[in-house]
Amino acid sequence: MTDRAEAFHYRDGDLYCEDVPVGDLCAEHGTPLYIYSHAALTGQYKALADAFKRCDPVICYSVKSNSNLAVVRSLARLGSGADIVSGGELHRALKAGVPSDKLVFAGVGKTDREIGDALAAGILLFNIESVPEAYAIDRVARGMGVVAPVALRVNPDVDAQTHRHTTTGKKGTKFGVDIDRAVAVYKELNELPSLDLCGVHVHLGSPVTTLAAYEDALDRVVTLVESLRDVGITSVRMLNLGGGLGIVYRDEATVDVEEYAACLRRHAEALDCQLILEPGRFISGNSGVMCTQVVYRKEAGHKTFVIVDGAMNDLIRPAFYDGYHAIRPVTGAGRGTETVDVVGPVCESGDFLAKDRHMERVDEGDVLAVFSAGAYGFVMSSNYNSRPRAAEVLVMGDTASVVRERETVEDLTRGESIPDALLADQ
């Protein structure tokens, strides 16, 4: 069982996650509710690992896509490393049991403290995003008497045709160093005594749905490494080719994983480098759904609004990325179809899960599954409008475990206080 079609499926009109009825989980734990399939998560990981098995890459699951401890743990048990972007993700990855020598650390604003913690843990690689960051890592490493393994993240100036908020490999974004400056930057950094310039890192954006963008970027990376070797910088032995592999949200074309593997492998082999991958969405995206209950139906301005109890604070992808998520009732389908907007209760016109969506007719009280919500779903949720965040459940076969409790209203004000002066009567 590897994908959504198998992990989340209908039996006699009822949606199941593996062998557990989704409606039962919602009745027991309430909505909005995130539900993840362990079989789908591990199946996707294995599909990727299988496609790459000839070159034995270090697969560093991108924790930002879904950072629940149980999710990260499920993958660590299969041998996965982790791609982290903060001290918080370092903490999570270690807590979930990811070996520190399989951790790669990206992000444009690493602080001295985060750098020190990662060095103390003994991570595999820092993905350096700028020259000042390289000097900071060198300084912190020297202070600790260690040498930091680093890859320069290069910006190949390739348009991977992703949403403007997730494009990272095009000139003018804040990520990495322009590839045409890279040789000069490597030469400068080569003088820093506490850096081991052992890699090159590139990540194009997400989700990438054509192989051409990878081909284009990797040709440029190969040329770069050859130029480095020509000028005597021979320390580069790791090629971190990032993540970004797309998934099917609707019916879009995606990159075939075998072709993707063949393309990346060819470039890594040409340079005799260890390949590192940072897949996120490919593993977690179709491994989760968000369930939400219809609160009201409303007719206004020639439109029908289905108002649900899940909102942009729970799943921001539709509002932030124009993301499409299939939506279906978890039970009792077959009441005809209609065109509606599915919206949440947050006080923003941007609070919607679907607009002008032709879908099965649903009524007040029905529970809906919002599919493909496993990546960049719960992790991007917030307490906006003082809404407690949803619970998360992991299903393994016929067993379901709450892997994050629903927040309470008490959780919302934890850590806040009112100064004494305001407590006194006027």
Ligand X SMILES: Cc1ncc(COP(=O)(O)O)c(C=O)c1O
The residues near 142 (Cβ < 8 Å, ≥ 6 apart) are: 193, 194
What is the closest distance, in whole angstroms, from the C-beta atom of residue 374 to ligand X in the complex? 11
**Contacts with ligand X, 89-108, as mask; x by CB under 6 A:** -----------------x--
What is the closest distance, in whole angstroms, from the C-beta atom of residue 43 to ligand X in the complex? 16
Does 206 help bind ligand X (rule: CB under 6 A)?
A: yes
Does 244 help bind ligand X (rule: CB under 6 A)?
A: yes
Closest Cα to residue 24, out of 16, 13, 32? 16
Report the distance separating Cα 200 and Cα 75, nearest Å.
Answer: 25
Report the distance separating Cα 184 and Cα 149, nearest Å.
Answer: 19
Exactly one of 199, 242, 318, 344 binds ligand X (CB under 6 A); which one? 242
**Contacts with ligand X, 366-395, as mask; x by CB under 6 A:** ---------x--------------------
Does 279 help bind ligand X (rule: CB under 6 A)?
A: yes
Direct distance between the N- and C-terminal alpha carbons of the chain, in angstroms, rounded to an integer? 65
Cβ atoms of 344 and 305 closer than 8 Å: no
Query: Interacting stretch for ligand X, rule CB under 6 A, among 181-189, 274-282, 340-348, 407-415?
Result: 274-282
> Which element (helix H / strand E) includes 423?
helix 420-423
Does 203 help bind ligand X (rule: CB under 6 A)?
A: yes
Q: Which is nearer to ligand X, 127 or 313 (CB)?
A: 127
Does 249 help bind ligand X (rule: CB under 6 A)?
A: no
Query: Interacting stretch for ligand X, rule CB under 6 A, among 24-32, 40-48, 201-209, 417-425?
Result: 201-209
Does 207 help bind ligand X (rule: CB under 6 A)?
A: yes
Report the distance separating Cα 355 and Cα 376, nearest Å.
Answer: 20
Q: Give the ranges where 291-353 is alpha helix by DSSP (H).
A: 317-321
What is the closest distance, in whole angstroms, from the C-beta atom of residue 36 to ligand X in the complex? 15
Exactly one of 23, 169, 199, 243 binds ligand X (CB under 6 A); which one? 243
What is the closest distance, in whole angstroms, from the C-beta atom of residue 241 to ligand X in the complex? 9
Q: Give the Å distances, CA to CA, from 14 to 101, 224, 371, 422.
A: 44, 54, 15, 53
Q: Which is nearer to ligand X, 370 or 375 (CB)?
A: 375
3-state SS class at 113: helix
Query: Interacting stretch for ligand X, rule CB under 6 A, among 94-102, 236-244, 297-305, 320-328?
Result: 236-244
Which residues participate in catalysis according to the annotation? 347
Does 133 help bind ligand X (rule: CB under 6 A)?
A: no
Query: Interacting stretch for ligand X, rule CB under 6 A, among 242-250, 298-306, 317-325, 339-347?
Result: 242-250
Q: What are the φ/ψ torsions at residue 415 (nearest 5 degrees)?
A: 90, -10
The residues near 169 (Cβ < 8 Å, ≥ 6 apart) are: 155, 156, 157, 158, 159, 160, 175, 176, 202, 203, 204, 205, 213, 217
Closest Cα to residue 376, out of 64, 33, 104? 64
Total residues at interface with ligand X (CB under 6 A): 18
What is the closest distance, in whole angstroms, from the C-beta atom of residue 179 to ligand X in the complex? 16
Q: Which is nearer to ligand X, 82 or 343 (CB)?
A: 82
> Which element (helix H / strand E) includes 227?
helix 211-230
Residue count of the chain, please give it: 426
Query: Interacting stretch for ligand X, rule CB under 6 A, among 34-42, 111-119, 240-248, 378-386?
Result: 240-248
Cβ atoms of 351 and 312 closer than 8 Å: yes
Exactly one of 2, 31, 44, 62 binds ligand X (CB under 6 A); which one? 62
Angular region, 364: left φ>0, alpha ψ -120 to 50, beta rest: beta
Does 29 help bind ligand X (rule: CB under 6 A)?
A: no
Cβ atoms of 282 and 59 closer than 8 Å: no
Does 83 help bind ligand X (rule: CB under 6 A)?
A: yes
Does 282 help bind ligand X (rule: CB under 6 A)?
A: yes
DSSP assignment letter at 63? G
- Summarize as ranges the residues that interact with ligand X (CB under 6 A): 62, 65, 83, 106, 168, 203, 206-207, 242-245, 278-282, 375
